[in-house]
Amino acid sequence: MNDTAQLLEAAQLAADRAAGFLREQEGRLAPEAWSEKGQGDFVTEVDREAERIVAGTLLGAAPGSRVVGEELTPGALGPGLVWVVDPLDGTTNFLHRFPYYAVSIGAVLDGVPIVGVVRHVPPGIRYHAVRGGGAWQDGARLAVSRVAEPKHALIGTGFPFKYVHLLPRYQRQFAAVMSRAAGVRRPGSAALDLCDVAAGRYDGFWELVLAPWDVAAGTLIVREAGGRVTGLLGEDDVIRQGPIVAGNPAIHAWLLGVLQQGS
């Protein structure tokens, strides 16, 4: 099943089902039920059950495909049709009832993202893109911003909270960006950060370490909205573990240069 319309329908259904489950569970978990994968990196049975819901829906719709998910099935993507899934992007936000978390589902065919769905759970907003078909927020077509001057640019970021050894490098980059841009924001969900770039709310975004499930859907959504998404060296292959830089074409080019100098 490689028809993108069918893949999109399956991804939207899976995201909707997981989002419904997450809404039911918000606020129910005491800290004693949180497991810590690393410093400040929490996981719960809610994350795992959301991934089971997503995987069951996707594999039922596309027999023969595979799921690579953050909690239950991390691993290499490989060839063929692979669903790259973050069942709860922004777990810490979810646990604190901070309304910025999402379900992220990307369909990747032979390493190329072809469908992306991000469901912003608390407000019920859905973002999606199909390769060659544009990017959308519910029924509205998305386009990246036209801001070209760094002094006017609002930049999103993510902290390397799992990799504290990278903090000095990140702090240099942050200082370089903050001293030139209009502002920097960090809400805590990379999938939604990328959607905010696609919608023109952010003019650019960077983070030093992200995983495939953090970016598989959002990367396609930004690109289909007219933006650029690369690694820190300008490479297009970002569906892997590593840094990411996104933005409208002008701000992406500027941000890439500033970050390389700040490193």
Angle, to 10 degrees, between the axis of helix 4-25 and the axis of helix 45-61?
A: 160
Q: Look at residue 130 and tell me whether its pLDDT is greater than 70.
A: yes
β-partners of residue 86 are 104
| DSSP calls for 82-135 | EEEEEEEETHHHHHTT-S--EEEEEEEETTEEEEEEEEETTTTEEEEEETTS-E
Q: pLDDT by residue (tens digit) across 180-222?
A: 999 999 999 999 999 999 999 999 999 999 999 999 999 999 9
> One fold for both 4-141 and 150-262?
no
Q: Look at residue 47 and tell me whether its pLDDT is greater than 90.
A: no
Cβ atoms of 58 and 105 closer than 8 Å: yes
Please report, rounded to a whole number, the percentage of residues in the chain having pLDDT higher than 90: 81
pLDDT computed for residue 141 by the predictor:
98
Tell me which of 74-83, 88-97, 140-149, 239-248 is least confident: 74-83
Provide the CATH number for the domain formed by 4-141 in this structure.
Answer: 3.30.540.10
Q: Look at residue 32 and tell me whether its pLDDT is greater than 60.
A: no
Provide the CATH number for the domain formed by 150-262 in this structure.
Answer: 3.40.190.80
Say whether pTM exceeds 0.85. Answer: yes
Q: Look at residue 40 and tell me whether its pLDDT is greater than 80.
A: no
Structure tokens that stand for 101 in this block: 């978390």
The domains of the chain are located at: 4-141, 150-262
Phi, psi dihedrals of residue 79, rounded to the nearest 5°: -80, 175
Q: Look at residue 17 and tell me whether its pLDDT is greater than 50.
A: yes
In which band, very low, low, confident or very high, does the pLDDT at 2 lie, cut at 50, 70 and 90?
low
